[in-house]
């Protein structure tokens, strides 16, 4: 994606030339296809350009007219309807950039323009006469935008580093970001820097000299727009929305890639994208994490399933990525710089895959991320939810279908698909399993630190998937996840494409009856039925799913000496306020490689990696002169 940035000096102080240079330099990796700035003595708007769609070739940003100045990072999906609404002549459509569409929409509807725009965007418009800045991000928040506000300055940037390059106040570590890292249950607008905030999905912001105002312009919810009575109609509608979502993200003639795991989600996107590119006589490049060809350990990977997808897609060009010499603590400082947050435990594999894609000159990198949040949700609590809503006939029907399909006993299915979601079970579970440490709900955070925020932490995911996903979108957390990938891919000169998080798909999913996820007793039933004739049957109906980074436990154990050095080093003594070193040590001694996907209750390997990454991150902040409350 392109990058946008700006400085507004509120007190009549001139913008210093070194600040302009530093801000541009901090984001130079985003200036793949050019850069531009607009400035007065007191205001600066900037743009670093990454061309993906054909009309972007005609885009010169920032763009100024008599009243307004705009800088934008955008992909607008409803271009034709906007052209009609705003009376823009047809002969101009092919060369009319999305940024100018946004500007025209602002002129017509003011701040309400965001209600008419579909797609992904982050933009800033300077209203000269009023000395007002208007900023907005798309409904989901797929294009990141960060901001900093002080009495003297308002600064914004697609990446935090643009702000950090020029802000004058001290950098203070926001310790709550550790809660977010482990639990994803803090305020998504906050970052690890106490003074820098994210403008979250569905939000718009107005900055005037004496204040800033943020407002949520979109709140997701069940609309009742989709009211099918036949199972096949629900599946058909999802199929059409997925195809359209992929097509919207392929408005390019440049190389397209995908991170392919062999699972339902990434394989679905790959098969759809492959067919579209085949009609254009172009390849789809795939990048997949696998074990070495002659691996001798107990672990297994997805190579067999990936090859099945490869045979199904005629134009797939496959690259297997092993990241041979990398591990969970490789190149962490690079990960901190790129991701601007605590990276996941598999950042070594993310870096290896992105580097492989960059070597193929990929400009758009697809991912199936997000499918299992909603589109390919397993539907495990479907029976429980139907009973709770007194839809007993539907609950009984699915129960007996599931019992037959999964060949489970009556008691076992009742236990896993009903009792496990009741309030009573959650009340007595800690007593029943008091001798077993559940790594899904417990981490390597220090308990004393954790207790400061404990009242804000909830265990588990709400069995009501609609309620959970509404909260996930409305809080902005969904956009923060996508935005992390967007900025990571941008560091390698690529744009991110995540069709499973498309706004129209999310709106559809909120209306989907819960039983659609378990038709005929099959888990992930909706996506399986929607992909009929698109996925190869071996993928469409597979029941197993293997790890994204299959040998991560072995790679962790290979770093056992390094981990112990961190635990015993005096330079990390300040970190034990936040991290429980003893818990890491005990878990490390008990850690063993596993052949398949680790159960959530047993992810001690991931928790070990996260704990050590936190220590290294805290030391990195210290080295960068952050104020840490020790």
pLDDT above 90 covers a percentage of the chain that reads 85
Check residue 629 and give its pLDDT: 85
Q: What average pLDDT does this structure show over 166-175?
A: 96
Is the pLDDT reported for residue 256 higher than 70?
yes
Tens of pLDDT along 518-538?
999 999 999 999 999 999 999
Does an H or E element contain 608, and which?
A: helix 604-623
**pLDDT tier at 330 (50, 70, 90 boundaries)?**
very high
Higher pLDDT, 456 or 80: 80
Is the pLDDT reported for residue 244 higher than 80?
yes
Phi-psi region of 299 (alpha: psi -120 to 50; beta: other; left: phi over 0): beta
Q: What average pLDDT does this structure show over 209-233?
A: 95
Check residue 598 and give its pLDDT: 72
Alpha-carbon gap, residue 421 to 464, rounded angstroms? 10
Cis peptide before 37 (omega within 30 of 0): no
Alpha-carbon gap, residue 402 to 525, rounded angstroms? 11
Extract the runs of DSSP E, i.e. beta strands, from 129-281. 132-137, 146-149, 153-157, 197-198, 203-208, 211-216, 256-259
The set of long-range contacts for 272-279, using a CB threshold of 8 Å and a minimum separation of 24, is 272/242, 272/243, 272/246, 272/534, 273/246, 273/366, 274/313, 274/314, 274/315, 274/316, 275/313, 275/534, 276/246, 276/247, 276/250, 277/250, 277/315, 278/313, 278/314, 278/315
CB atoms within 10 A of CB 600: 12
Does an H or E element contain 547, and which?
A: none
CB of 535 within 8 A of CB of 271? yes
Is the pLDDT reported for residue 333 higher than 80?
yes
- In the structure encoding, which two tokens stand for residue 576, read together? 């034990």
Is the pLDDT reported for residue 487 higher than 80?
yes
**Regarding beta strands 146-149 and 197-198, do their DSSP bridges make them parallel or antiparallel, or are they unpaired?**
antiparallel
Higher pLDDT, 169 or 453: 169
Check residue 459 and give its pLDDT: 56
Is the pLDDT reported for residue 503 higher than 90?
yes
Check residue 505 and give its pLDDT: 97
CB atoms within 10 A of CB 87: 8
Beta bridge partners of 72: 123
**pLDDT tier at 587 (50, 70, 90 boundaries)?**
very high
Higher pLDDT, 295 or 2: 2
Is the pLDDT reported for residue 87 higher than 70?
yes
Check residue 61 and give its pLDDT: 97
- In the structure encoding, which two tokens stand for residue 509, read together? 């999913």
Tens of pLDDT along 428-471?
876 766 667 778 778 999 999 988 887 666 655 568 899 999 99
Torsion of CA 116, 120, 124, 129, to 10 degrees: -10
Check residue 292 and give its pLDDT: 87
**Radius of gyration of the chain from its Cα atoms, rounded to whole angstroms:** 25
Per-residue burial over 261-283, b if 16 or more Cβ lie within 10 Å, else e, is bbbbbbbbbbbbbbbebeeeebb
CB of 202 within 8 A of CB of 474? yes
Is the pLDDT reported for residue 600 higher than 80?
no
Beta bridge partners of 203: 216
Alpha-carbon gap, residue 212 to 203, rounded angstroms? 13
Beta bridge partners of 198: 146
Higher pLDDT, 249 or 324: 249
Is the pLDDT reported for residue 132 higher than 80?
yes
Alpha-carbon gap, residue 311 to 309, rounded angstroms? 5
Higher pLDDT, 275 or 372: 275
C-alpha to C-alpha distances, 470 to 223, 474, 556, nearest whole angstrom = 12, 6, 36
Check residue 428 and give its pLDDT: 82
Mean pLDDT over each residue of the chain, to the nearest integer: 93
Check residue 555 and give its pLDDT: 92
Domains and CATH numbers, the chain: 3-216 (3.60.20.10), 231-376+476-514+530-540 (3.40.50.620), 422-463+551-630 (no CATH)
**pLDDT tier at 630 (50, 70, 90 boundaries)?**
confident
């Amino acid at each position: 994606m392109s990058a946008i940035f700006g400085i507004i000096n509120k007190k009549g102080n001139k913008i210093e030339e070194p600040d302009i240079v530093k801000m541009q330099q901090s984001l130079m990796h985003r200036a793949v296809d050019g850069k531009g700035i607009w400035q007065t003595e007191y205001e600066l708007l900037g743009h670093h350009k990454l061309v993906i769609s054909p009309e972007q070739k005609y885009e010169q940003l920032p763009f100024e007219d008599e009243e307004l100045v705009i800088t934008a990072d955008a992909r607008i999906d409803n271009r034709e309807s906007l052209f009609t609404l705003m009376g823009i002549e047809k002969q101009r459509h092919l060369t009319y950039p999305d940024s100018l569409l946004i500007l025209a929409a602002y002129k017509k509807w003011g701040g309400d323009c965001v209600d008419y725009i579909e797609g992904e965007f982050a933009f800033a418009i300077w209203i000269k006469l009023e000395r007002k800045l208007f900023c907005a991000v798309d409904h989901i928040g797929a294009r990141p935008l960060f901001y900093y506000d002080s009495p003297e300055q308002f600064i914004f940037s697609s990446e935090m580093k643009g702000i950090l390059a020029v802000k004058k106040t001290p950098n203070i570590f926001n310790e709550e970001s550790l809660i977010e890292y482990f639990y994803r249950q803090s305020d998504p607008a906050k970052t690890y820097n106490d003074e820098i905030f994210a403008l979250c999905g569905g939000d718009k912001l107005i900055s005037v000299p004496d204040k800033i105002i943020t407002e949520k312009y979109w709140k997701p919810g069940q609309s009742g727009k989709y009211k099918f009575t036949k199972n096949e109609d629900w599946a058909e509608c999802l199929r059409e929305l997925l195809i359209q979502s992929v097509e919207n993200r392929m408005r390019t003639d440049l190389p397209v890639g995908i991170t392919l795991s062999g699972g339902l989600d990434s394989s679905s996107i790959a098969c759809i994208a492959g067919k579209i590119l085949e009609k254009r006589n172009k390849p789809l490049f795939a990048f997949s994490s696998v074990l070495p060809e002659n691996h001798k350990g107990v672990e297994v990977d997805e190579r067999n399933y990936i090859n099945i997808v490869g045979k199904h897609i005629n134009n797939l060009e496959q690259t297997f990525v092993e990241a041979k010499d990398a591990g969970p603590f490789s190149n962490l400082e690079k990960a901190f710089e790129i991701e601007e947050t605590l990276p996941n435990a598999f950042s070594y594999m993310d870096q290896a895959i992105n580097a492989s894609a960059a070597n193929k000159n990929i400009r758009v990198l697809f991912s199936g991320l997000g499918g299992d949040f909603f589109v390919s949700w397993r539907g495990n609590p479907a029976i429980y939810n139907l009973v709770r809503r007194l839809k007993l006939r539907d609950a009984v029907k699915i129960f007996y279908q599931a019992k037959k399909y999964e060949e489970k006993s009556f008691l076992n299915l009742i236990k896993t698909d009903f009792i496990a979601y009741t309030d009573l079970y959650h009340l007595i579970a800690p007593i029943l399993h008091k001798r077993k440490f559940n790594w899904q709900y417990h981490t390597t955070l220090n308990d004393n630190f954790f207790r400061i925020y404990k009242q804000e932490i909830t265990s588990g995911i709400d069995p009501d998937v609609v309620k959970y996903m509404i909260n996930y979108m409305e809080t902005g957390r969904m956009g923060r996840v996508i935005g992390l990938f967007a900025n990571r891919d941008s560091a390698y000169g690529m744009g991110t494409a995540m069709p499973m998080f498309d706004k129209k798909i999310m709106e559809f999913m909120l209306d989907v009856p819960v039983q659609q996820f378990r038709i005929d007793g099959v888990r992930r039933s909706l996506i399986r039925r929607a992909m009929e004739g698109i996925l190869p049957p071996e993928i469409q109906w597979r029941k197993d799913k293997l790890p994204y980074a299959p040998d991560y436990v072995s790679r962790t154990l290979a770093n056992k000496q390094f981990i112990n050095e961190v635990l015993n080093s005096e330079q990390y003594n300040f970190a034990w306020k936040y991290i429980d070193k003893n818990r890491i040590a005990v878990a490390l001694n008990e850690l063993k490689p596993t052949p398949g996907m680790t159960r959530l209750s047993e992810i001690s390997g991931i928790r070990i990696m996260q704990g050590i990454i936190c220590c290294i991150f805290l030391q990195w902040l210290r080295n960068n002169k952050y104020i840490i409350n020790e």
